[in-house]
Chain A
Amino acid sequence: MIRKREGPARVEREAAVPKLNRLFLPLLFMSVGALQPGEGLAQETPDDGFREARERLVREHIVDPPFGSEYAVRDQDVLRAMRTVPRHRFVPEELVRVAYEDQPLPIGHGQTISQPFIVASMTELLGVGAEDRVLEIGTGSGYQAAVLAEIVDRVFTIEIVEPLATSARARLAELGYENVDVRHGDGYFGWEAEAPFDGIIVTAAASHIPPPLVEQLRPGARMVIPVGPPFQVQTLMLIEKQADGRVVQRNLMPVRFVPFTRAE
């Protein structure tokens, strides 16, 4: 079973937003508008009133993360994608104001939208380019798929929770991502018809990595899996299928923060 950690609910949002917030939201948007005159939520161009916020996010948390330059994301394509994709369109309305903070957010259905830094890191780790086809298991809000879509040729993404799949499909279409295919279903068996893939992202760890996914990985390609409880990533698993078909896994740990033994 794959549990997803991402997912939104724009379609469901009406029902989900408590009354208080509905009263409060216009105020919130007014204040956003006041800070950034001439901008509205509905605009779809990159300069949508949040461009500055995105720039700041990329500058302060992704290019130069506060916890050490060795974690910096340097891939120019990834950085461009992070500067372009409107994350505020992927989060519930009441969280729009914090959409460009570097933190995971709840999006309903027990799912979260990952921390931007993690999205950028995972995308960079995949090492994919303009010609590539990528499979994502766990569409969630569709944010990760959108980031990938800015970089690669085609993105295939599978979501097991139907409302999430529906809303992500609608959202991605609305934002003009025509190279993303969203499917509602069980991601365990991958997307056989479109295999092999040049990269696979599985958005949450389960008790085991589905063997069919490893099979659908092209030799030389990589799979990335974030591991940790909700709202936390404790490690990134990187699975590399070598040219001879041998599989090597790397456990990328944040050793810098918790040295296993004291430094002396």
Chain B
Amino acid sequence: MRRFPVSRLHAAILLIGALGISYQITLMRVLAIAQWHHFAYMIISVAMLGFAVSGTVIALLRRRIEGRERPLLAAGALALSASLTTCFVLSQLVPFETFRLTSEPAQLRHLLILYLILAIPFFLVSWCVALGFLIEPRRIGRLYFFNMLGSGLGAAAVVALLFWVRPATVPLVLTTPAALAFSLAAGGLGRRWQLGLVIPAALLLAAGLTTRGQQIRGSEYKGLSHALRLPDARVVARSQSPLSELTAVASTAIRETPGQLSGYPMRELGELPEQVGLYFDGGSVSAVSRFDGALEPFAFLDYVTGALPYRLTDRPETLVVGAGGGIEVLSALYHGARHVTAIEVDPGVHALVREELREHSGRLYEREDVTLVLAEGRGYLEGRPDGSLDLIQFALLDSFSAASAGVHALAESYLYTTEAIQLYLRKLSPEGVLSITRWLKTPPRDAIKLFGTMVEAAELAGIAQPGLHLAFVRSWNTGTIVLSRAPLTEGQVGSVRNFASERGLDVSYVPGIRRTDTNRYTVLDEPVYYEAATALLSDQREQFYRDYAFHVRPASDDRPHFFRFFRWGSTGRFIEGTRHGWFNFVEWGYVALVATVVQAVIMGFLLVLLPLILFARGSGSGLGAAAVYFAALGLAYMFLEIAFIQRFMLFLAYPVYAVAVVLTAFLVFSGLGAYAADRRLAAAAGEGREPLRLVRVAVSLIAVFGLAYLVVIPAVFRATASWPDPGRVALSILLLSPLAFFMGIPFPAGLQLVSDRRSRLVPWAWGLNGAASVLGAALATLLAVHLGFRAVMVLAFACYAVAAVALGNIREWTEA
């Protein structure tokens, strides 16, 4: 075999690929901390802007660039190393504020400025890679391999980095590899070039260094900002992981409870225990209560709706999902649980309660009757023996204010799907109960969707009359729904009613409920929850889903967007309400995504149309075919990547590692596919039929593997759910590798063809593909929300087929 030719160019491209993805992941984290996590979509579209524009710019300046590709690449790398910190610092100066978007037009301007600033580094990344293609026009696949390998390694590296470096510092850390990429790219140039580039490089690096200690500009409306304004507030600990930045704040004014303390006699039973508030990404809160082993101070936990399941169980073997600071664990102990398994997905929480807050929390998680597990709830439960739990209790996973702002509209949650509820039922003992509490929103939607999900899941699990197994109580701000594996006994029904009347809570559903039983303590204009529950249990269910103003159809694993309630059919009503200010329904996550897609489509048209007009003369036909080819590939690749990442995240149970493993494997194996394609094409030496043949084979194999996975993977995952982590990670990589390998082939093969026939179009095709892939990422989510991930995969195969046809047309091009 020939020796692997690693040149300086390849090393530079590898580094730049790594930088692009690292920066993207970092910015997503930064925006999640500064504002809300749906801005991840904004970063996607920012990257797309940068990619698209640079490809087009190079294509347009082709003649002036010719012969100067290397120095321009070096200059690009230099600018990149400077821009990483500079653009980050500048972006933090923009006073953008999500909540003010609706009332202040100036915020739109801030958003636009933010867009442009942050797009610069992505422009430069794409600039360097596109010039790389021009430097090595005969070995497109090989260069692409280095780019993909870099991206894969970069994704893994930045996730590792985020365990011990704060996101605000990452841009500075990335400056070093960027400078290295520059010196590699500038290495082969003459002295004059080197000097001309090195001096500004040194200056810019120095400037970058002065930005050390840069803070993220956090929204003043987030929970952490509020907490820090409390009179005696002090930060007692910080911890971070790639999943979240966790800040622990102590103040006598922090009193977070899992909902309304309904009728709590504070004079008799005492004030709440002292708390440390945990703020995840500056937002949602979980409290760590001072605990000294005495459970009496936690009597207040019997005054929230979430205490309901303890009236239906006796010394339950309990699982708490989303244990966080431990308030639900304390509740379980207070209510006499035999043993509590506490599931918490965030490694930062583990670190805090083991270290800084160890004494404050009374070593809660080290007790004999408490087991703390670092995992995602669903994945953990898959591996647990059936029938081994008496109570599965969901902690209120978010803060009240974040829930009502609708910021999670697009978050996939596999905890609240019909498949998940069926799984919970399997894990329960014959008399066991599942209990889920949600913050109630106005107008009502969460709890209604949850109730419907439980009803449908119970039916699917073979429960003939779900209505006999369910109970639903509410305060003014929380609702707790309990699903029992066995029909509720008369005694249990009485317990529900007694609990509610003792505490001043409303029963919205219990077997045998009458309309007059409900809506007594927190009076709604109509007993909406009661009406919804009875409709969902009747044969009017479909009708109810259709007519309700919000999307309340249950979520499924294929469409795991429990928090999306928006319905296009209700848009008019929502806009009307917003205009009048009194009622303001905006699901920010959804709005951000739709805005991203719209912006991407507009830009895509500009990007395709502009060069089409400019190049059309003298280019002959086929430009349209090329546009279709590269756009279809970009969409298809991202559709499959995102759909498969979703599947594997559920399987791997640890989202952080899952994303890192899956993303890295995907990119690296695609890179290998590109490398193999390059070898084939180099051996065929410009034979025009070869790329087409390669692409056809690759597309067929993608379809074969993809469709096979669609059918086989659920069964494989079920069979191997209890495997140890390394086993599941290895299996995931094994399953993904062939698919990713073949997915890596079509793009470089087509680009090679373009390079051979009309090399000046290469940057344009590269930019177009980049833009389409980023659009693909946003579009995949939007499509999944409405049609499901399975449909997204099918669409991906269709895109690949379209691409294969389009490539036939490109082949018709004559040699330039």
Contacts and interface: CB of A to CB of B under 8 A. Distances in A.
Contact of A160 (B221, B230, B255, B441): B230
A110 B228 CA distance: 11
User: Which has the most chain A C-beta neighbours within 10 Å: B100, B255, B476, B526?
Assistant: B476
Contact of A234 (B256, B521, B583): B583
B355 interface: no
A104 B103 CA distance: 8
Contact of A258 (B100, B524, B573): B573
User: Which has the most chain B C-beta neighbours within 10 Å: A71, A229, A234, A250?
Assistant: A229
A228 B443 CA distance: 11
Contacts of A105: 103
A177 interface: no
Contacts of A109: 220, 229
Given A209-B260, A249-B522, A260 B549 contact: yes
A67 B263 CA distance: 36
A229 B406 CA distance: 9
A215 B271 CA distance: 14
User: Which has the most chain A C-beta neighbours within 10 Å: B226, B227, B570?
Assistant: B226
A103 B442 contact: no
Contact of B443 (A102, A207, A231, A258): A258
Contact of A251 (B404, B523, B580): B523
Interface in A228-257: 228-235, 237, 247-255, 257
Given A248-B523, A251-B523, A259-B549, A160 B581 contact: no
Interface string B529-571: 0000000000000001001110000000000000000000010
A178 interface: no
B577 interface: yes
A234 to B, nearest CB: 4
Contacts of A26: none
B182 interface: no
A115 B521 CA distance: 28
B229 A207 contact: no
B540 to A, nearest CB: 11
Interface string B368-391: 000000000000000000000000
B549 A261 contact: yes
B256 A1 contact: yes
A258 B585 contact: yes
A19 interface: no
B568 to A, nearest CB: 14
A84 to B, nearest CB: 22
A231 B584 contact: yes
B582 A117 contact: yes
A188 B443 contact: no
B705 interface: no
B254 interface: yes
Nearest to A18: B95
A71 B582 contact: yes
Contacts of A205: 400, 477
Main secondary structure of the interface of B (DSSP, over half): loop
Contacts of B581: 102-104, 115, 117
Contacts of B490: none
Interface residues of A, number: 59
A88 interface: no
Interface in A185-224: 185-186, 188, 205-212, 215
Interface in B73-104: 97, 99-100, 102-103
Given A65-B580, A67-B580, A258-B443, A162 B103 contact: no
Contacts of A209: 260-261
B582 A257 contact: yes
B231 interface: yes
A224 to B, nearest CB: 13
A235 B441 CA distance: 9
B592 to A, nearest CB: 15
Contacts of A237: 476
Interface string A51-62: 000000000000
B264 interface: yes
A115 B402 CA distance: 21
Contacts, number: 173
B225 interface: yes
A129 interface: no
A66 interface: yes
A59 B524 CA distance: 29
B6 interface: no
Contacts of B266: 211-212, 215
A25 interface: no
Given A186-B253, A188-B253, A208 B267 contact: no
Contacts of B399: 207
B404 A207 contact: no
Contacts of B227: 1
A251 B522 contact: yes
A237 B99 CA distance: 22
B220 A110 contact: yes
A3 interface: yes
B584 A228 contact: yes
B658 to A, nearest CB: 31
Contacts of A65: 580, 582
Contacts of B291: none
B521 A248 contact: yes
B256 A106 contact: no
B194 interface: no
A258 B221 contact: no
Nearest to B448: A260
Given A103-B103, A230-B221, A208 B573 contact: no
Interface in B230-279: 230-231, 251-261, 263-267, 277
Given A251-B442, A260-B444, A229 B577 contact: no
A109 B229 CA distance: 8
A227 interface: yes
Contacts of A110: 220-222, 225-226, 229
Contacts of A254: 577, 582-583
A65 B583 CA distance: 13
Nearest to A229: B405
A81 interface: no
Contacts of B256: 1, 207
Nearest to B219: A110
A32 interface: no
B198 interface: no
B646 to A, nearest CB: 28
A160 B526 contact: no
B528 interface: yes
A208 B258 CA distance: 8
A25 B405 CA distance: 33
User: Which has the most chain A C-beta neighbours within 10 Å: B251, B257, B522, B584?
Assistant: B584
User: Which has the most chain B C-beta neighbours within 10 Å: A65, A118, A205?
Assistant: A205
A257 B443 CA distance: 10
Contacts of A103: 103, 581
A161 interface: yes
A186 B583 CA distance: 29
A228 B578 CA distance: 13
A73 to B, nearest CB: 12
20 contacts: A67-B577, A104-B103, A104-B581, A117-B581, A161-B229, A207-B256, A208-B261, A211-B261, A211-B266, A215-B266, A229-B405, A232-B584, A233-B582, A251-B523, A251-B524, A253-B525, A254-B582, A258-B570, A258-B574, A260-B548
The 5 lowest CB-CB distance pairs between A and B, nearest first, are A257-B577, A229-B405, A110-B220, A235-B442, A232-B584
Given A3-B226, A210-B255, A230-B401, 20 more contacts: A1-B251, A1-B277, A3-B401, A67-B576, A67-B580, A117-B582, A185-B231, A186-B231, A188-B253, A208-B261, A209-B260, A227-B404, A231-B584, A234-B404, A234-B584, A257-B573, A258-B549, A259-B549, A260-B444, A262-B549
Interface of A: 1-3, 65-67, 71, 102-106, 108-110, 115, 117-118, 160-162, 184-186, 188, 205-212, 215, 227-235, 237, 247-255, 257-262
